[in-house]
Structure 1
Amino acid sequence: MVKSVRYGMLGCGMMGQEHLRNLALIDGAQVVAIIEPDKTMQSRCSELVPNAQFFDSLDEMLNADLALQAIVITTPNYQHADQLLELFEKTDLPILVEKPVVSNLAQVAKIKAAAAKHPAPVWVAMEYRYMPPVNQFRKQILDGDVGDMKMLSIREHRFPFLEKVNDWNRFNVKSGGTLVEKCCHFFDLMRLLTGSEVKRVYASTGQDCNHLDEKYDGETPDIIDNAFVVVDFESGQRASLDLNMFAEGSRYQEEICAIGPKAKLECFVPGPGRFWPTQTLGDAPIPKVVLSPRQPKGPIEADIPVDGTLLAAGDHNGSTFYQHLGFYKAITENAPVDVSIEDGLRAVVIGLAAQQSAKTGLSVTLTDNGFSYLTEE
């Protein structure tokens, strides 16, 4: 017998609608309530979930007789922390919250303490963990294909930030900054793949191409569009991030590389299929994983296709579906939470430390077991 879960959504813009499409693929998942102030977004959501009710506030939604069983937060970044704290205070419901959990360092301790008292699962949405090619990449690392991994690099060469409601993602104060908004995914992956905590971060960034001719209330966006970040781990492993957000002509959007004494392992992930020019270039690229042993030399390539239905449901290579399936099982089967509040907070702190490093030109040492940081003299 399929177990039913009734979801309420906080915020339902572009990413929220991806969540709606993927929840629709899970038997038993039903979105019954949505808080979304933008009328255009409301209209689009109504097309996806015509029976859902819209509300103006969290209290109004919680007081309605809807028997909610889970909450999904997909509001703008700067709203996440306050909404989580309100939900922790007023409910004991399971919560899935989009990254980043917080957008500034002052919010970390409050969220960490409140989450520790919450009786239900709390899951942070880190979609990149669940992309099939990345999952295969991780499996081969765990299987020992490269040996004891020493170096890890992540390259994302992609399109600029998309337009959001009121373009909140154009400013650091609302987004947390590019290295938080966009890149906490990658710092989460680094922690996952190394199995270690970060001890030091150094970043060099630029705002060189994107949004420079835009104005909002007389202010020019301050969001960076390219970066190099070097990350040192307590284990002695090192990782790097190469980000560029004016490189949408790339065949692959993400390229991840792990190197150990036995081999090099690479993962190639294309960007959203809707941006690929099929009329001129044909079908979109297929994700792949490539193992290059030292002996005998010669790369071993494996295509890792993603189910077409999942590709059509969002921009993240099927990962939003697998993430929601895990959250659904955490609710209905008491399965473990893959990405905890602690995971989400640590990833944000690394991003904030990188932003601080870029601002000061100094490396930044993480303190308090990875929940705070100190700029080096």
Structure 2
Amino acid sequence: MKAIYGIIGCGMMGQEHLRNIALLPDAEIGAIFEPDPDMREKAAALAPEAKLCDSLADLLAVEAITCLLIASPNHLHLSQMEEIARTRPLPLMVEKPLFTDPGDTARVSAFKANYPAPVWVAMEYRYMPPIARLLQEAESATGGVRMLTIREHRFPFLTKVGNWNRFNRYSGGTLVEKCCHFFDLMRLVMKSDPVRIMASGGQAFNHRDEIIDGHERPDVWDHAYVIVDFASGTRAALELCMFAEGSRFQEEISAIGPAGKIECHVPGPTRFWPVELGAPPDPRMVYSPRNPKGPREAVIPVDPTLLMAGDHNGSTFYQHQSFVAAISGARPVEVSLEDGWWAVAMGHAAQQSAMSGHAVKLEGDHFRVQT
């Protein structure tokens, strides 16, 4: 039986979802709600058979749809989830971040307690082939990960509809909007929850000269360092720079344990690679055991069709493939509401640490500044 999607939001990321869902043999787009005229036109071209709706309520009234995807601006996610819960709680994939305001934890908890259908939080980075390989092999390659380092050197935030991603009040802030992916990976690799976060970051270069709507300057950060201590005694670090688009690889992740080190190197979106440099680099793994010494490299090829369908090394396709299997009952939900909550909470804690100059201690479903 086919999964028939209702899509809520078809900006850049929503259009990537449309292209990848179209590649799945057991899924199709049934309805789309996108209020921006330009994005609506582009979405209609990608999914010409889909019904175009004028509101979320209209989309939920389309009887044919069997599942939903939220890919709207970040600050709309939670209220749209709540409207869906009140109206027609179908199986749902919701783009990260799950929510943007740290004061909304109670609303997220209420949604989690009462929503009757599967909910999958979209964390594309888990499904990038080289990162997926690292997740599969980290334990055996390291003998148990004790240190994890994630570095992302990339391009600045792209222009979005209404410039919502230029402001913390809409995006949740850079360490939520951009880095919730990496905090999710940290918990996944460490198999533990964080207990303390220390961070330093700010707006060094990007968007400082922009004026939005004639009067307002963006306040999103463009760089940060974050250190995370976990309950297991393990540690992780993040280095983010969003004015380093000249890099060969966009993400570089290393996991280290008593038996050795494993690394993955992930190039950025194919469409941004300079054509005068020839073919873009392939993702690769590096294995560095302590005994016998000597690194070994392996190339992790990605299907060119999937590279053309989006900016995330094929991960959006693999994520939907697993989501469709989950809502049919063939496999469990792999990225839960709890995972989505922790990723946002860690981002907020990191931003609080950077702004306060103090470590932030996480305690269950909240966090406080630890002086």
- Report the TM range for the smaller structure's normalisation: over 0.9
1:52 Cα deviation from its structure 2 partner: 1.1
**Quick one: which amino acid aligns to residue 257 of structure 1?**
S
d(CA) in 2 for partners of 1:97, 1:59: 17
* 2:99 corresponding residue in structure 1: 102
| 2:151 equivalent to 1:155 | yes
Tell me which residue corresponds to 1:372: 366
* 1:196 alignment partner in structure 2: 192
Report the residue type matching 2:242 in the other structure.
M
Instruction: Tell me, yes or no, if structure 1 residue 171 matches structure 2 residue 167.
Output: yes
Which residue of the other structure, out of 19, 22, 25, is the alignment partner of 1:21? 19
Q: Which residue of 2 aligns with 1:38?
A: 36
Residue aligning to 2:280: 284
Looking at structure 2, the residues matched to 376 and 292 of structure 1 have their Cα atoms a distance apart, in angstroms, of 37
Q: C-alpha separation between the residues in 2 aligned to 1:116 and 1:289?
A: 40
Distance in 2 (alpha carbons) for counterparts of 1:93 and 1:31: 15
Query: Aligned partners of 2:83, 2:201: CA distance in 1, in Å?
Result: 35
- SS of 1:292's equivalent? strand
Measured on the aligned residues, the alpha-carbon RMSD in Å equals 1.0
Q: Structure 1: which 5+ residue stretches go unaligned?
A: none
TM superposition shift of 1:6: 1.2
Residue 28 of structure 1: how far off its partner (Å): 2.2
Question: Which whole-Å CA distance do the structure 2 matches of 1:315 and 1:175 have between them?
Answer: 19
CA distance in 2, matches of 1:247, 1:225: 10
Structure 2 counterparts to residues 74-85 of structure 1, below 5 A: 74-85=71-82
Match of 1:309 among 302, 305, 310: 305
SS in 2 for 1:145: helix
Contact 2:145-2:189 at 8 Å conserved across structures: no
Q: How does 1:1-377 map to 2 (within 5 A)?
A: 3-64=1-62, 66-142=63-139, 144-217=140-213, 218-278=215-275, 280-367=276-363, 369=364, 371-377=365-371
TM-superposed CA distance for 1:206, in Å, is 1.9
Check the 8 A contact 1:85/1:111 in 2, yes or no. no
Following the alignment from structure 1 to structure 2, what is the Cα–Cα distance between the partners of residues 125 and 31? 18
String of CA shifts for 1:227-271, please: whole Å, max 9, x gaps: 000000000000000000000000000000011111111110000
Which residue identity lines up with residue 48 of structure 1 in the other structure? L
Q: Tell me the alpha carbon deviations over residues 172-223 of structure 1, each in whole angstroms, 9 at most, x when there is no partner.
A: 0000000000000000000000000000001100211100111124111110
Alignment check: 8 A CA contact 2:30 2:64 kept? no
Query: Partner letter of residue 336 of structure 1?
Result: P
- Retained in 2: the 8 A contact 1:88–1:115? no
Distance (Å, rounded) in 2 between the aligned partners of 1:332 and 1:230 = 39
Counterpart residue identity of residue 211, structure 1? H
**Matched AA of 2:229:** D
Distance 2:268 2:147 in 1: 24
Which one-letter code corresponds to 1:282 in the other structure? G
114-123 or 352-361, which deviates more? 114-123
User: Which amino acid is 1:9 matched to?
Assistant: I
Q: What displacement does 1:116 show?
A: 2.4
Structure 1 contact 130–319 (Cα < 8 Å) conserved: yes
Q: More displaced, 7-16 or 83-92?
A: 83-92
SS state at 2:13 partner: helix
One-letter code of the match for 1:60?
D
The CA deviation at 1:334 is 4.4
Distance 1:5 1:348 in 2: 29
What displacement does 1:24 show?
Answer: 0.4
SS of residue paired to 2:141: coil
Aligned residue identity for 1:25? L
Q: TM-score, normalised by structure 2?
A: 0.98
Counterpart CA distance in 2 for 1:322 and 1:109 is: 32
Contact 1:112 1:341 in 2 (8 A): no
In structure 2, the residue corresponding to 1:310 is in which secondary structure? helix
Whole-angstrom CA distance in 2 between matches of 1:296 and 1:341: 42
CA contact (8 A) 1:207 1:222 kept: yes
Secondary structure at the aligned position of 1:309 is classed as helix
User: If the length of structure 1 is used for normalisation, what is the TM-score?
Assistant: 0.96
Structure 2: distance between partners of 1:335 and 1:257: 29
